[in-house]
Structure 1
């Protein structure tokens, strides 16, 4: 690691969305506070919980100045809405970088310094591969660092949002977009996908690092999780064929002002012909070659069985 600056030299605002996470938060927060070569402030938004999450965090914040608990916002109902709330409400003007954090992972000590090192090469946003781990001790590298494609941002995230680190100038523009589109964003289910798409659609640069920076905890209450294997494919297939996946992609294009883009107009009407044309662009719509094949098959299934 080439960065060896004092802790006060680089400031990072970490936005953490919590919901019934009391059993994991102590270990996660400890890994955040142990980040090397950066000064960390953690802003936490707690979705209405029943396990004492908010009360425990309130007590910790009394003695830990690096922890800032946002005021109660009631029931938000999803991780995406919670993260959008953090983006809307946290003042990031005093920070150099902004990162997202889930409540249940474990960050390696150089996760943020590695991200900053990459961003300082001229990028606005950063994400990475992760090492998924299970309660029984299993671990698996989840690769997301395949080469970016022309339209991948309209159909997928560049990795889990908990790996995201972004420079403050990019986030300030992202915040304005979130504030201006607040009502419409309540219908969009993936904050990480939206952030990446906003970056790519507006000419910001993004790097997907092949070096994992976090241990990505897998358990029964994961919102998305590692998402690997044939079972995950069929789960996504059912979601897409019921209309969810393409509906989200169409909403995304509208939020980004891309609905009149010729490529988008090819398929956004969701006709059989449109799905067929989209199938022919599968290589441009996903990064991983296997996912390109899956995407092609899902488009063909949508031709045969339109939602």
Structure 2
């Protein structure tokens, strides 16, 4: 009797992806020991991505292009559209994919087996960032999870995320129920992780990298490496964007009334200073705990704390 392989729906968000998408699709189609179906949602592009994907899908019956849905203006809204519109019923697992990476051949096999053997609901992993000049760098996101990290960071790049059907259906229901509000969430991977952890779903972050994470000028969110990245992160904090996202996600996932969360949710100066002394349970990596401590103090005195 043939062994049944897991059925995986891969949700791929595309925008001006002609330079890389064919290599990415080949790496997804080459996954070992899984039955893969790919759903592509395309943000209106100027480089012919729509026409190329339509022709490619015609030649590959396991690839489907979602109907045009207008301008998304960012990967997050595109992924939320995929989560809302793709029917998960025929599949055992749901995976997210960017258009420009290269998956290891065993990426989905490793993820689905981990979900089953560890009895978890969601999987993510480390990745190897790579640049056009040949440089590579391991992005290590697999530090131990702490009590409140999900309110302040994602579980790593969303392109590594794989969900079992139970969690995927719950996530879909939350996106549909709060459709207008999630349009303001700028990082879908952060929201997915926050929703999972806040609702008791089990998440494993694999220290083994499962893909090559391409770095280029058009990355919406790239590798947090180097001085330029640090300065960019500081700007989002000083301008109030990061904390506004923290507050929005906390409320969306129903954590606004938790005593710990409500103690700082208004982002008043004294509240932020007290929050800084809880840095150890708000970020996973030691370096980020230190950064978080100083960020709270900087923002406490920045004056950018409006609702």
Q: Deviations over 1:64-97 (max 9, x none)?
A: 0110100001111010000000000000100000
Are residues 1:55 and 2:51 paired?
yes
Are residues 1:93 and 2:95 paired?
no
What corresponds to 2:68 in structure 1?
A: 72
What corresponds to 2:133 in structure 1?
A: 136
What corresponds to 1:222 in structure 2?
A: 219
What corresponds to 1:38 in structure 2?
A: 34
Separation of aligned partners in 1, 2:277 and 2:227: 23
Separation of aligned partners in 2, 1:30 and 1:8: 23
Is the 1:8–1:39 contact (alpha carbons within 8 Å) kept by the matching residues of 2?
A: no
Separation of aligned partners in 2, 1:118 and 1:8: 17
Are residues 1:185 and 2:176 paired?
no
What corresponds to 1:29 in structure 2?
A: 25
Are residues 1:156 and 2:153 paired?
yes
Give 3-state SS (helix, strand or coil) of 1:219's partner. coil
Residues 53, 226 of structure 1: alpha-carbon distance in 2 compared, 3 angstrom cutoff:
same
Is the 1:12–1:39 contact (alpha carbons within 8 Å) kept by the matching residues of 2?
A: yes
The within-5 A match list for 1:3-14 is: 9-14=5-10
What corresponds to 1:196 in structure 2?
A: 193
Offset, 1:230: 3.4
Separation of aligned partners in 2, 1:301 and 1:82: 33
Is the 2:267–2:300 contact (alpha carbons within 8 Å) kept by the matching residues of 1?
A: no
Q: Deviations over 1:258-307 (max 9, x none)?
A: 11111111111111001101101101110000000000010011123231
- Per the normalisation by structure 1, the TM-score is 0.97
Which runs of no fewer than 5 residues in structure 2 stay unpaired? Answer: none
Aligned residues: 303
Separation of aligned partners in 1, 2:258 and 2:166: 26
Match of 1:117 among 96, 113, 116: 113
Is the 1:7–1:36 contact (alpha carbons within 8 Å) kept by the matching residues of 2?
A: no
Offset, 1:238: 1.4
Match of 2:202 among 197, 205, 208: 205
Give 3-state SS (helix, strand or coil) of 1:148's partner. coil
Offset, 1:185: 0.6
Give 3-state SS (helix, strand or coil) of 2:208's partner. coil
Offset, 1:7: 8.2
Q: Deviations over 1:192-245 (max 9, x none)?
A: 000000000000000000000000000000011011233322221211111101
Give 3-state SS (helix, strand or coil) of 1:264's partner. helix
Separation of aligned partners in 2, 1:197 and 1:275: 20
Separation of aligned partners in 1, 2:57 and 2:299: 50
- Per the normalisation by structure 2, the TM-score is 0.97
